[in-house]
Structure 1
């Protein structure tokens, strides 16, 4: 492989990192991801930059936390002047392609990608903007609700399956195109699926794999509403919990569908990797998710929380020169962009003062890392920004509205005992408080979020009055340049489209 390696990024949506303690858990039916894990560096304690789709993905692509990107929620614009890994690679001579979801909000639907093969599954406008001016108000037509749990089950086709089937098909076709050698540049192909994101619905062939699964009940069962922390109660309210009676069977069926969709994704990943191998191409391979899913732990579902199920994600990197191993040091998805640039020999020096992430290659090669992992959240279900630090065995969370939380994840992996008031932890708590004060001015952060929300509500209501021009990406394919047309030389065409040639 050259000093400008090809790069294949396989991204999934809402995949709980606790299910990937060292690659996929043994009981998951995921042979392709298990094979990938065997040749990868597995970062067992990887955290999202923010536990929600758009802010988490903007942080992943830019190496910056939400307060810096200003992508606070699922309707905040990702502005065009923020460099992403696609910009850095493309500037260095890569062709950059996206098949699938990245939840870009705003008129820029490329953010450094030269080519997009599909549209996005989610809207690109400001319609999903939260409003801190109306605490506790639900926006029923787009907020999550627990109907995803009560409606769990089997289907042969859904909106999301249709999307991911298309994502995988286009990715395979792109790998075939790359093999034909019509473009001499190194390539970066990002393939981004929407599963296992709820709704919790799966195809029968995958559902049946988990019929007798021992993990259909969460290890951390539901708590009464009154015993939840304040932010978790807000999430329950945002999910309209009083309108749903969640039974034990609902929980089991939801988790069964979720596990089934991991196996569905495993088949898609296997198809893509098999095509890469059969076309004799090599690439650095990155497998990652944007955030996790609580899956009923403590009674919580989906994401939007700093608890492990929501904030922790899988991250595996297979690359020449990196010894396959498990690394337990906490890291972040915001480290991905610096790592990709490091792998490609690209300097980020011009923007490093404004980058929150750092390359994972030194850690993978044995250099200790001591910097804590930071997470931010300021979206639906919150009424003021929340911040989190993970360092060593500890996780600390803070919000201007809520009591602090401090969890010892080594002794208490299910985060059941808040140690913030424990005198034995006073020194640890003081260290985290000082670190948080140095990083965040929560009052200023809150004001920035409120300003952004207010502006976007004005703009959205204006743009939906009268003719509406959507920002959604419109993939166009020129039929007159496909297959065989009369302006093409048939002999040249057939030779160029064949791989391998002459065999």
Structure 2
């Protein structure tokens, strides 16, 4: 897919040998891993990044105090399935044909679960991962099914009536029950039960990597009254950036159309209720983070467990008149990333640009798992940054899902964010001077420094991405999946959804 794509270097271990502890049998044991993944958390809104935030997240805040906190972490694609497929493989979407929410991840792509499992880890998944087709991808055990269908049923040309439309905003508020609450409660029950089971087997020299993937605070914007009531009497801040529809960039205009946001009945009250419900849903995630950390502590596994907290993408939540994700603006593309293991590195704040693509090589280096660097890999190990050293400061992103008519690509380096698309005018922002992304510097004239930077980014993008080839590949993939889906929906339908295996007699 790429022209002149660089090969990733091997990790820089130096003195950073994999951490170990001694088990009760006297043998060295690698650290356990608890990877908590939330769905659609906007990093700029969290208190760990904004001290003035109104969102109540005491458990995430406490975890941050013991973590390396990455303040400029980005998703590789601002949409669920492509972002997650890239996260688990450490590869950008065009490498693995992860174009939209109905793209199947090939079973031959190694994931962090494969590498850790090959290194002796029990790799376990509880919750959402949005796999299409194969539902394991290296996880030895999956404790729950997914919340979404694992099939070709929602490619961009086939919009599902319940998927990202204005009803999420107009009907926002408290609820007694939702399928998302049902799902996350099952995820938490199975995940905590797994941790207790691991604690019951202290003689085991096999460490675990447990991924707990919650579906909150993903829309629809509704949450149980317990969390809605937490914000009773609280001032819910409104979006800070309002841009008239006629002044929106072309991609934002398409997103407003695709997501049914062009209507006039989205009032300030509706926006406030949607944001309040979202705040409550983030607090719900925070409570569940607290529950998982409490289990680790009471089972005395906290001293030998690396804890990671992140998200697949963010949520615009009304900024610029946009909701959900699907754009490269900060609310959509920036994610939280906390990595905690105080026994090996001190808490610190890291401002360099990083990506969730970096999680795979980071976990591999931390655990001594061997990666075959003859295979494609776009992520970089964050171990140097964890120990206070410098690292790669460039992030690439790719988006080919809803709202696009051509590939929409992003480069973030230092304070600069460059967004390019064959059908849209390019965008260049300096986030240090313009954190709200209000001034597209591609329109600035007579500033030779900016013009030079813009020219360099433009050249880099043209050398990195063959836009016509990518477009042809995406369209071919969509046509193939359409043909398959049309056939599979005739006659007896065989679901690809994962059916958890559980022997009640062994409980």
> For the residues of structure 2 that align with 1:189 and 1:23, how far apart are their CA atoms?
26
> For the residues of structure 2 that align with 1:297 and 1:212, how far apart are their CA atoms?
23
> For the residues of structure 2 that align with 1:408 and 1:395, how far apart are their CA atoms?
7
Q: What is the CA deviation profile of residues 161-217 of structure 1, one whole-angstrom value per residue up to 9, with x for unaligned ones?
A: 111111111111000010111743111000000000001111222112223434430
Q: What is the CA deviation profile of residues 236-267 of structure 1, one whole-angstrom value per residue up to 9, with x for unaligned ones?
A: 01012245610000111111111111111111
Give the alignment of 1:302-317 within 5 angstroms. Answer: 302-317=324-339
> For the residues of structure 2 that align with 1:175 and 1:253, how far apart are their CA atoms?
36
Task: Tell me which of 286, 307, 320 is aligned to 1:266.
Answer: 286
Secondary structure in 2 matching 1:354: coil
> For the residues of structure 2 that align with 1:294 and 1:244, how far apart are their CA atoms?
18
Change (3 A) 1:201 1:244: farther
Counterpart of 1:326 in structure 2 is: 349
Change (3 A) 1:351 1:455: farther
Change (3 A) 1:370 1:427: farther
> For the residues of structure 1 that align with 2:409 and 2:250, how far apart are their CA atoms?
14
- The answer to whether 1:219 aligns with 2:240 is yes
The answer to whether the 8 A contact 2:47-2:61 is kept is: no
The answer to whether the 8 A contact 1:47-1:311 is kept is: yes
Secondary structure in 1 matching 2:181: helix
The count of aligned residue pairs is 473
Task: Tell me which of 132, 141, 145 is aligned to 1:115.
Answer: 141
Secondary structure in 1 matching 2:214: strand
Change (3 A) 1:312 1:440: same
Counterpart of 2:250 in structure 1 is: 230
Counterpart of 1:378 in structure 2 is: 400
- The answer to whether 1:459 aligns with 2:484 is yes
The answer to whether the 8 A contact 1:211-1:256 is kept is: no
> For the residues of structure 1 that align with 2:373 and 2:162, how far apart are their CA atoms?
35
Task: Tell me which of 391, 397, 421 is aligned to 2:419.
Answer: 397
Query: Which 10-residue stretch deviates more, 14-23 or 28-37?
Result: 14-23
Counterpart of 1:367 in structure 2 is: 389
Structure 2: state its 5+ residue gaps.
1-19, 22-28
Counterpart of 1:19 in structure 2 is: 45
> For the residues of structure 2 that align with 1:422 and 1:208, how far apart are their CA atoms?
47
Change (3 A) 1:148 1:453: same
Counterpart of 1:80 in structure 2 is: 107
Counterpart of 1:69 in structure 2 is: 96
> For the residues of structure 1 that align with 2:374 and 2:431, how far apart are their CA atoms?
31
Counterpart of 1:485 in structure 2 is: none
Secondary structure in 2 matching 1:451: helix
> For the residues of structure 2 that align with 1:225 and 1:244, how far apart are their CA atoms?
11
Task: Tell me which of 83, 90, 94 is aligned to 2:121.
Answer: 94
- The answer to whether 1:155 aligns with 2:175 is yes
Structure 1: state its 5+ residue gaps.
132-137, 483-503
Change (3 A) 1:21 1:308: farther
Q: What is the CA deviation profile of residues 340-367 of structure 1, one whole-angstrom value per residue up to 9, with x for unaligned ones?
A: 111101121x145500000011122233
Secondary structure in 2 matching 1:196: coil
Q: What is the CA deviation profile of residues 349-398 of structure 1, one whole-angstrom value per residue up to 9, with x for unaligned ones?
A: x1455000000111222332344200100011111111000111110000
Counterpart of 2:268 in structure 1 is: 248
> For the residues of structure 2 that align with 1:123 and 1:409, how far apart are their CA atoms?
37
TM-score (norm 2): 0.91
The answer to whether the 8 A contact 1:153-1:200 is kept is: yes
Change (3 A) 1:140 1:95: closer
Secondary structure in 2 matching 1:195: coil
Counterpart of 1:188 in structure 2 is: 209
Counterpart of 1:447 in structure 2 is: 472
Q: What is the CA deviation profile of residues 434-482 of structure 1, one whole-angstrom value per residue up to 9, with x for unaligned ones?
A: 2212221111111110111000000011111111111000113112222
Query: Which 10-residue stretch deviates more, 472-481 or 444-453?
Result: 472-481
The answer to whether the 8 A contact 2:172-2:270 is kept is: yes
Q: CA RMSD in A?
A: 1.5
Counterpart of 1:409 in structure 2 is: 431
- The answer to whether 1:173 aligns with 2:173 is no
The answer to whether the 8 A contact 2:385-2:391 is kept is: yes
Secondary structure in 1 matching 2:412: strand
